[in-house]
Amino acid sequence: MVLRKLFISLLLLLSAFLLFAGGEREDVMKLTWVAGGKPHAFPEGVDPQGFPGVQEKVAADFENAHPGVKVTVLYRDVTQGSLTVDAMMARGEPPDVWLDAQGYFLKYMNDDYALRLDEYVDTSIYYDYMVEPFTKNGHVYALPQNNVAGGFAINLDMLKLIGYDMPEQPDWTTDEFTRLSKRLQAVGIPSTMISTMDGMHSWLWPWIYAFGGALFENQNHSKVTINTPEAIKGFEYMKMLVDEGYAYPYPNEQSQDTAVELFTTGRVFSSMMQNGHVNYWLPQQVAQGVIEKEFEVTFVEAPHEPGREHTPTFGYFTVAVAHKSDNEERNKMVAALAYETAVGKEYMYALCTVGGGFPTIKGFAPADGNAAKPMYKAIDQVRRNAGLMDLGALSPLSEELDRPWKPLVQAFIAGEISVQDMLNQYEAEAKQILAK
């Protein structure tokens, strides 16, 4: 009997040892991180150490720094929207940290779901204007991990052709752009793209914001604020560029895709876009024999009305939201996971140097890979100086509010309705949408 009891005791000890040796312990805190769409590539010269992507590497580093924590990295199924996360929510098992495009979090940035991250980590390390959209009632519910921004791309070779030197920023006004447009027109070059095939989109709005117009104000998406004298001046200026033959013709037949095509083939002086469009398509146009050689390009702010300092540009964020539980120790670890990995410097460095995104941490400016390219640096400077427009991407009704613009702005550009009639009709439709 004694031997039998001893045997059973040894067996239990052996089982416990094997369980511990296998890495499974009862006191392990298991955390889940949904890390966007796919494993992200490592920067050049960084040893992947067998990890499929940077996300797994920084998760492993987090585990090493926090013994007793196990992090599982999942990827949202980008082919079917938020299917992966939707399934987790349906099971009642939301991810502890979810890193994704800002639009996914409209219904999650609140006390019912998310941690007030400002109560756990130092949110002051991020640029204020990047944190502001995710601050509700004085608390930060999401942290900006990556910023994608655009700028006003210009063809410097065309400026050399007409002997024009770019003015200093205070003098880069809409009046000056009109004077430049006349000089370009004299040699047969359209000065810019007004592409209204799809209505009003982020590449067109800077022309309105240049005069102080704004679709929303102060992150308040309960009311549109576009029916103003400032907005009228912006729309009238945009139409003037078309009517005077300065802009590329037939704007209602032009899209963002044709804007990239026409700019990178040297058929238009300027257009709003992202640095990735130029970095990719300019050498492609040479390789395909469309143009003989690459021309010199840079990015600047869109022109501003005289008396104003800047015209904000377009952009959007990838952000991290941390799920709140009833366990305060878990909450602390989840906040740390979001802070140290999803929006930490190691992962952010990879996204900047490999992916071409822009950092959100003050004073953090990688200068390798894509981040070392002149056009990247130019747009980075634009977004820092000019800031970003609020086009309502965080409004749950953003798509519905976009829809009325297409027939209205096309009719306006075609001269079928006045700017005031267009704005009156849009405001009336927007009020109906917002009243739902």
Return the pLDDT at 428: 97
Q: Report residue 26's pLDDT band, with 50, 70 and 90 as the boundaries.
A: low
Architecture of the domain delimited by 151-312+397-434: 3-Layer(aba) Sandwich (3.40)
The pLDDT tens digits of the residues spanning 176-229 come to 999 999 999 999 999 999 999 999 999 999 999 999 999 998 778 899 999 999
Whether 151-312+397-434 and 23-148+316-381 are alike in CATH topology: the answer is: yes
Return the pLDDT at 18: 42
Whole-angstrom Cα distance, residue 224 to residue 435?
12
Return the pLDDT at 101: 86
Mean pLDDT, the chain, whole residue set:
91
User: Which residues make beta-bridge pairs with 33?
Assistant: 73, 97
The pLDDT tens digits of the residues spanning 123-173 come to 999 988 889 889 999 999 999 998 889 999 999 999 999 999 999 999 999
Domain borders along the chain are 23-148+316-381, 151-312+397-434
Return the pLDDT at 24: 47
Q: Report residue 17's pLDDT band, with 50, 70 and 90 as the boundaries.
A: very low
Architecture of the domain delimited by 23-148+316-381: 3-Layer(aba) Sandwich (3.40)
- pTM comes to 0.81
Return the pLDDT at 129: 83
Question: Among the listed ranges 48-57, 269-278, 383-392, which one has the minimum average pLDDT value?
Answer: 383-392
pLDDT at 21 over 80: no
pLDDT at 78 over 80: no
Whole-angstrom Cα distance, residue 29 to residue 329?
10
If you count them, how many residues does the chain have?
Answer: 436
Question: Among the listed ranges 194-198, 226-230, 329-333, 389-393, which one has the minimum average pLDDT value?
Answer: 389-393
CA-CA-CA-CA torsion for 195, 198, 202, 205, nearest 10 degrees?
60
Count CB-CB contacts under 10 A for residue 46. 15
